[in-house]
Amino acid sequence: MFDTVLVANRGEIAVRVIRTLRAMGVRSVAVFSDADADARHVREADTAVRIGPAPAAESYLSVERLLDAAARSGAQAVHPGYGFLAENAAFARACADAGMVFIGPSADAIALMGDKIRAKETVKAAGVPVVPGSSGSGLSDGQLADAAREIGTPVLLKPSAGGGGKGMRLVRDARKLAEEIAAARREARASFGDDTLLVERWIDRPRHIEIQVLADGHGNVVHLGERECSLQRRHQKIIEEAPSVLLDEETRAAMGEAAVQAARSCGYRGAGTVEFIVPGGDPSSYYFMEMNTRLQVEHPVTELITGLDLVEWQLRVAAGERLAFGQEDVRLTGHAIEARICAEDPARGFLPSGGTVLRLHEPQGDGIRTDSGLSEGTEVGSLYDPMLSKVIAYGPDRETAIRKLRSALAGTVTLGVQTNAGFLRRLLAHPAVVAGELDTGLVERVVDELVLVDVPEEVYEAAAAARLAALRPRGEGWIDPFSVPSGWRLGGLAKPAGFHLRVQDPVEYVPRGTHTVTDDQVSVTLDGVRHTFRLAALPDGSWLGRDGDAWHVRDHDPVTASLTGAAHSGADSLTAPMPGTVTVVKVAVGDEVAAGQSLLVVEAMKMEHVISAPHAGTVTELDVTPGTTVAMDQVLAVIAPAEASVEEER
C-alpha cells in the first residue's frame, strides 16, 4: 500500500477521499488554488501544496503543477476524484511517466471510453446494446444535422469528450438544429476543449440507470448493483438512489453482466460506472450510453447498500491487490438515497449563486451521511462546479430512506449562499417520486410546483424581529424609548414603525407578532403559530433559513432606489442574473438591436447564460468587456427603447 497519496481535486470529493486515506493510515496531500487557501480539504489533509492562481486552468487543470506538487510532497500515487482531470488520459499517462500511480484505469481505457463515439462502437462489438445514433467522429455541422433528420426528431446532441450534461441539447424542432449544434459545440469547447459532437435518438420519458463496476489488475470484474439516476434537471443528476424500484432480479443480473462486458472490452481497472438509458415501460430494453472512468458523485449510495468503501478499493486495486470477493459475494441490503446540494437559486430559475457561508449545519448519524467541502466562512465563487455537498440517507426500505432524507434536508443549513436543499426536499415528497414513477423529464415537468415563488409573511416578520433586536440598545439599565423603533411617543404609542425590506420586490413591513431572537435563531409567533428560523444577521439585513430553504432579506432604501432608477430614466438596464464572468459581448454602444437579440453571455460554474435585448432599441451604455467579472444584479448594459430613441431624435 502507498505511504502518501496526493488528491488532485477540491471540495467535498477531496474531503471524502482524505477521510478514507486517514482511515487506512495513508498520508494525504491536498492541493489548492489561491481561492481555496483556507478551504476545508486543505485543513483536513496531512499536508497541502499551493498549485497556482484561482482559475482552474492555472491550478487544478495544470498537469505540470499537480505533478510538481506530488513530487515535492513525496506522493507515490495520485487520486483524481471526479471532474477536472479525473477522466483525462494525458494526465493518467503523465502520472505514469513521472513514476507515480494514477488511481484509476489505464490511460488507454480512459481515452477509449472518454470518446463516446469509439466507446459505443467498442461495447457494441462486445454485445452490449447501444442507443441508435450517428456513427463516426469529426462530423461537420451539416453531417450532424443530416444524421439527426435521418434518425428523426427528437434527438439529443452530446459532446463526445465530456459528461455531466455539459453541452447536451435536446432538439425537438429540426428547424433549430443549426442553432443548437452551434450552441452545443461552443459549450463543449468551453467545458472540455473539444467540440466534437454526436447525435442520438431521444427516448421519451426514459430512466437513467447506471451500474457500478469494480475491476482489479488480475482479470477480476464484478458489478455492485445499480443506481437509479432519473431525477435530473438540465441533464444533471440531482437525486440518486440504490437499488432501482424498476428492475427485477433478472433484469438487474442482465444489466450487470452487460456492464461487466463493457468494462472487459476496454481492459478496465478500478472503480467505474456504466450508464444505461432504459425505457420506463420496458426495462428489459436497456441501451448503453457511456462509461464514466472514475468515481461517481453518487457512489455513497452503493457504499451504503453493499458495505464497501469504494475509495478504499480504488486504492487497493491501484496498489496491485486482487479483489477479495467475487460476484456471488456481493449483497445489496436496504435502500440508500442521495441529494446533491448545489449553489443555485431555484427562485431565479436555478441560476448559480455565491457568497460566504455564514451559518452551517450538516446532519450526520442515524442513517444519515453528509459528504461536504464546506465550513463556516467558506467563500463560494463562480469559478468551480456549483455542487457543495451531498446528503445521503440509508434505511431498511425505500420509504424509510426517503423519510430520513427529507428530515435531513430540513435540518441542512447553508446561510449566506442560496442552495436547492428546500427544492429537493419538496421533490422527494412529490407523489410520482414517492411511488417510484420516475423518468429523466419528471423534474422539468413538475418544477413549477416545487419552487417557492412568494415570500411567506413570517419571513418578513422574522427579518423585522432581527432588525429590531439589532437596533435595540445593549446593556443593563435604563433604555431611551426614543432609541427603539417601537412607535413610542410622549403621547402614547403611535403606529409601530415599519421596515423597508427586500427579498425580491421591496415591501414595507410592520411587525405584528411576538419574537424571540438569539445570535443564530429567531422565532416569531403570528396568529398563534410559532415559526423558527436559523439566523445570520448582517449590517444591511439578514439571512433566514427553515426546512432547507433560505431567504436573504435586505434592507431597502426607497430614496436611494428611486435615485438609482432615475439614472436610467427612459431606458432599460440589463443586469447580471448571477455572479460570473462575461465571456461574449456581441454589441457596442450605439448599436441598434432587435427584441430578443442575443447581446452578451455570462458564464458561471460551467453554465452559460445568454443576455438578450428585452425590446428593440439602441445600446446607450455598455459596462463590460469579455473577461469582466460581474456580481449578481450588476448592470451590464442599457438599452434605450426604440420609441425613446425616436423621441430623442425629434
User: Is pLDDT at 17 greater than 60 in this prediction?
Assistant: yes
pLDDT tens by residue, 266-298:
999 999 999 999 988 888 889 999 999 999 999
pLDDT computed for residue 646 by the predictor: 43
Q: pLDDT class for 571, splitting at 50, 70, 90? A: very low
- Residue 176's pLDDT is 92
Within its chain, how far is the Cα of 192 from the centroid? Answer: 17
Q: 214: domain CATH number?
A: 3.30.470.20
pLDDT of residue 649: 44
Residue 187 within a domain: yes
pLDDT value for 414: 98
Whether residue 481 is contained in a domain is answered as no
- The closest of 513, 519, 386 to 462, measured between CA atoms, is 513
CB 235 within 8 A of CB 165: yes
Q: C-alpha grid cell for residue 408?
A: 435531513
Position 203 pLDDT exceeds 90: no
- Give the DSSP H/E element, type plus range, for residue 585: strand 580-585
Domain boundary (556, 579, 596) is at: 556
Assess whether 231 and 270 both reside in one domain.
Answer: yes
Q: How many CA atoms lie within 13 A of 606 on its CB side?
A: 23
Q: Are residues 250 and 307 in the same domain?
A: yes
CA–CA gap between residue 323 and residue 523 (Å, rounded): 54
Is the pLDDT at 478 greater than 80? The verdict is: no
**184 and 212 within one domain:** no
Nearest to 165 by CA among 85, 230, 237, 88: 237
> Residue 195 sits in a domain of what CATH number?
3.30.1490.20
Confidence of residue 455 (pLDDT cuts 50, 70, 90): very high
Question: What confidence category does residue 368 fall into, taking pLDDT thresholds of 50, 70 and 90?
Answer: very high
Q: Are residues 235 and 185 in the same domain?
A: no
CATH number at residue 635: 2.40.50.100
- For residues 60-84, give the mean pLDDT: 97
**What is the distance between the alpha carbons of residues 591 and 568, in angstroms, rounded to a whole number?**
18
pLDDT one-digit tens code per residue, 415-431: 999 999 999 999 999 99
Question: Do 212 and 181 share a structural domain?
Answer: no
**Mean pLDDT, rounded, for 428-436:** 98
Looking at the structure, tell me whether residues 36 and 15 fall in a common domain.
yes
pLDDT band at 488 (very low <50, low <70, confident <90, very high): low
Considering the domain architecture, whether residues 416 and 321 belong to the same structural domain is answered as yes
In the chain, how many domains are there?
5
Among 383, 418, 450, residue at a domain's last position:
450
Cα–Cα distance, 393 to 228 (Å, whole number): 15
Do 416 and 338 have their domain in common?
A: yes
Compute the average pLDDT of residues 163-190: 89
125 within a domain of the structure (yes/no): no
State the average pLDDT over residues 557-576: 65
Within a domain: residue 479? no
Q: Are 428 and 539 part of one and the same domain? A: no
pLDDT confidence tier of residue 648, bands split at 50, 70 and 90: very low
Is residue 159 over pLDDT 70?
A: yes
Instruction: Dump pLDDT digits (tens) for 379-420.
Output: 998 889 899 999 999 999 999 999 999 999 999 999 999 999
Judge whether residue 647 has pLDDT over 50. Answer: no
Q: What confidence score (pLDDT) does residue 280 get? A: 85
The 10 Å CB-count burial string (b at 16+, else e) for 367-394 is bbbbbbbbeeebebbbbbbbbbbbbbbb
Taking only the tens place, the pLDDT of each residue in 293-334 is: 999 999 999 999 999 999 999 999 999 999 999 999 999 999
Residues 235 and 310 in one domain: yes
User: How does pLDDT run across 223-277, given as a tens digit for each residue?
Assistant: 999 999 999 998 899 999 999 999 999 999 999 999 999 999 999 999 999 999 9
**pLDDT attached to residue 576:** 86
Is residue 490 situated within a structural domain? no
Verify that 24 and 76 share a domain, yes or no: yes
Instruction: Dump pLDDT digits (tens) for 510-559.
Output: 999 999 999 999 999 999 999 999 999 999 999 999 999 999 999 988 77
Could you tell me if residue 305 is inside a domain?
yes
What domain range includes position 279? 207-450
pLDDT value at position 529?
98
- Render pLDDT for 26-45 as a digit per residue (tens, 0 to 9): 999 999 999 999 999 999 99
| Residue at 136: amino acid letter | G
Q: What CATH number corresponds to the domain at position 84?
A: 3.40.50.20
The mean per-residue pLDDT over the stretch 353-372 comes to: 96
Residue 607's pLDDT is 73
Q: Say yes or no to pLDDT of 650 above 50.
A: no
Rounded to 5 degrees, φ, ψ at 603 are: -115, 135
Do the domain assignments include residue 72?
yes
pLDDT band at 7 (very low <50, low <70, confident <90, very high): very high
C-alpha cell at 309: 468503501
Residue that terminates a domain, selected from 176, 201, 226:
201
Is the whole-model pTM more than 0.75?
A: yes
**Residue 493 domain-assigned (yes or no):** no
DSSP secondary structure string for all residues of 112-164: HHHSHHHHHHHHHHTT--B--B--SSS--HHHHHHHHHHH-SSEEEEESS--T
pLDDT at residue 218 in the model: 97
Q: Are residues 16 and 32 in the same domain?
A: yes
